[in-house]
Every structure is written in C-alpha cells, then in structure tokens.
Amino acid sequence: MDYERYISDGNLEKVLLGFATPEEESEYEFYLDIFPELQTEKEEIERKLERLAFKEAALPPAHLKTDILQKIALETGAPAVTSNWYTKRKAVRFEDIVPPSHQMRVHIGWKILLIALLVMIATSILASVIFFAMTIK
C-alpha cells in the first residue's frame, strides 16, 4: 500500500482524531517508518485542524476570569482580585447618569407629545385666520 492511498482512505485522519483502533495505530506507526511523507502530511492536517479550531472558537464571558481568580483566592487565602481590564473599562450606562437635583427629568415621549400638541394648535389657529380672512372678502 502506498502512502497516497493510505491518506486518501482517511486512515491518517482517524489516527489523528483518535478514532483509530490499536491495530490501525500500529499500522500507522509502521507506515510512518516506511514513508516519511506521512509525517509531513500529518503536520499539515494538524495545522489545518488548529486553524479551524481557532477560527470557530467562542470567546469566554468577560467576567469569567475575575470569578475564577476570586474563587482561587478564597480557597488559598490569598488576597482577592477585585479588578481587571474589564472592570477598568466599565462602560457608562444611561441609568448611571444622574441629573442635578435642581433639574426635572421628563421622558422623551412627553416631549414629543407636547410638540405635536403645539403644532396642532398652531395649525388650527392658522387655519382659522385663513378661513375668516377668506369669508370677510
């Protein structure tokens, strides 16, 4: 059996992924001694799998590192980690902004309603003026 057929049959992938039986692994070791090209092919497949794994990797939640370090600190008695770069870069939320005490907060919906009401009143007055001006002539 030549090494190209061994590769095309998928035997090399089975060995690398751990799905091969002990007999197939010993066969791989035997062919590795005979065909050094298998080692090159093995390294290429490992690089492809590694690139794929990094490409599809999911990032852990931001708070996970701090939580783990605090648990370790509790178990070992070391000082707890209270901050990291995640907490240093804490984003300011809208709820965190407090207006000065002498100002009143009004929801944007009420502001829009007030503007719409004033526009309707102005339009009504303008329509009344135009109507009376046309009837007098």
DSSP-derived 3-state class of residue 1:
coil
- 31: which residues sit within 8 A by CB, 6+ positions away? 1, 3, 6, 38
Q: Which pTM was predicted?
A: 0.42
- Work out the burial of residue 41: count CB atoms within 10 Å of its CB; fewer than 13 is exposed, 13-18 middle, 19 or more buried: middle
- Indicate if 19 and 42 belong to the same structural domain: yes
- Work out the burial of residue 51: count CB atoms within 10 Å of its CB; fewer than 13 is exposed, 13-18 middle, 19 or more buried: exposed
What integer is the mean pLDDT of 10-23? Answer: 87
Q: Report how many domains make up the chain.
A: 3
* 51-88 pLDDT tens trace: 888 888 887 787 888 888 888 888 887 766 555 555 55
Domain that holds residue 118: 104-136
- Indicate if 43 and 81 belong to the same structural domain: no
Q: Binning pLDDT at 50, 70 and 90, where does residue 127 land?
A: very high
Q: In degrees rounded to 5, what are phi and psi of residue 89? A: -100, 40
